Structure 1
Amino acid sequence: MRDTRESRLLLVLLIAIAFALITVDIRGGQDSPVEGARQAAATVFGPIENGVSSAVDPVGNAIDAVRDSGSRHDRIAQLERANAALKAKLGSDDRNRSRVKQLDKMIRVAGEGQYGIKGAQVIAIGAAQGFSWTVTIDLGASDGIKRDMTVLNGDGLVGRVTTVGPSTSTVLLANDPDFSVGTRMENSDELGFASGQGDRALRVQLLNAKADVKKGNRLVTFGSEADKPFVPGVPVGVVSRVDPSGGDLTRTIYVKPFVSFSKLDVVGVVVQAPKRDPRDTVLPPKPQPTPTPTVTVTVTPSTAAYEEDGEPSDY
């Protein structure tokens, strides 16, 4: 396009429209008027994201290479492909071991909480729906995923499903500023509402302004009506700071989430809620305090304090 007055005006107009759509989207929240566009985007770009994820998977590429090598007539090319497949497979061993550990932890959480889950893989981050803390997973409507389902992993609460396409879904992470979840404190049952603060600790407003809260106390999800968007008992985090009560109707505490939102890979979507509230049973065991080492002092009498005949001296 030539740099003319008309082209510059067109560029300014397009930028203004883009910022207007972003503002409307952010203010609209769940009722955003661009929700239809999100659904369309998920339908169009979801399969592409899935395809890209599969294309860069070294294990998948290795399997394909070995499987297809039998149809090649050139022996040299066949050996080269098999060699490349082996290198790719060996290079992905650490990643596979990490995923197995993640799956084991997630299965333990699902078992203890009696959650019916479907495992998914994070295939994209920060989707093009705005500036939210979101990830895209490789499960969609065809897999039985619906909006407002709880998402967790082996550490605890990841977020909730907000947009569902045919083969992919968008998950709003628990650290997003627009995220809110009811919480219950371990043992004391104090209730509150947690909201995300990006890369900072979750902010929790306790309903009881005089609640006895200490650093190290742990929280789980309280649950929602009909278990949507949140099932009860999912670990949320550990209290890292308590604001002094200033006579307000609520009390503010800050919670370090169990989940590391910058290291998400394998997650689970809760497709079936537990029949009973698991309460605190899903929380991980508390770390045992490190015992204080005991110092033993042995006193050995000095040989200079004895006479030559072995009797103690007078001084």
Structure 2
Amino acid sequence: MARDNQSIVTEFIFEGLSSQPRTQTILFIVFLVFYLFTVAGNIMIITVIRADCQLQSPMYFFLANLSFLDIGYISSNIPQMLVNLWTKKRTISFSGCAAQMYFSLAFGMTECVLLGVMAYDRYMAICHPLLYTTVMNKKFCIHMVVASWTISLLSSMVINSLTLRLPFCGPDILNHYFCEVPAMLALAYTDTTLVVLVIFIFSILIAFIPFLLIITSYIHILFAILKIQSAHVQSKAFSTCGSHLMVVSLFYGTAICRYMNPKSRPPQDRDKVVAVFYTVVAPVMNPLIYSLRNKDMKHALGRAMNRPKSLFI
């Protein structure tokens, strides 16, 4: 196949995380367990929140959406990696790579915005409890989730369109375990300065601004909690925020480092390890964090186990 007298890449070959057969087998088992646990854990959280009348609040509405996002996010890259590890065939078509890149970026961006929205929810609940039910009403929460999805899907479309318009004339070896924009830029057969600039701008808008919202919200929350006289109320307030902060630290810390510096240099092994944290570790940890650290979720899980049939009514 030719274009402008140059052969173009029609498929990519993943280098993956390791080329050693034994290590690949171990990685297959580990990531399969992680994937199944993530999907099962997040489905459990969604089901329990939907079934338990005591969890019908904005906080758990956003948590259910976060769980859905985590399922989509990990499903956008791990199944392909498992296939590659099992079959030892590391190729992916250009169109398959484009789809994977689009959905993984869209899910990741949506999660960034949603985590910011969840921080604002905690800010309103702790700093302005009298206004909480008025401001954080059902309509507003739905609008926030829809806005998070819309902004992220459109942003991913722009970034992917610019990336895929670049000429890929070789090499076709992708130094990664899934199709990620920075890794793709390293293979482009032209100057990628404009695309890198666009990615940086969207990183500011989609990732860094929500991150600032999270930091600002928790500064106000901290001061509000310190003013509370009751140690029990303080402990409960810290408990509701602790789970969210752990999730933010896992996901945001690594994702920002990767996408705020999307240079088109060949990706290093360190970049792949960083990617594992926000594409695999963060989604697999979220069900654990929210089910083990959140007392309301633990009580709801206990009630669900005592009356399992209620989950399916």
TM-score range, shorter chain: under 0.3
Using CA pairs below 8 Å that are at least 6 residues apart, which structure has the higher relative contact order? 2
Name the structure with the higher helix share. Answer: 2
Q: Which protein is bigger by CA-based radius of gyration?
A: 1
Q: TM-score, normalised by structure 1?
A: 0.19
More strand by share: 1
TM-score relative to the length of structure 2: 0.19
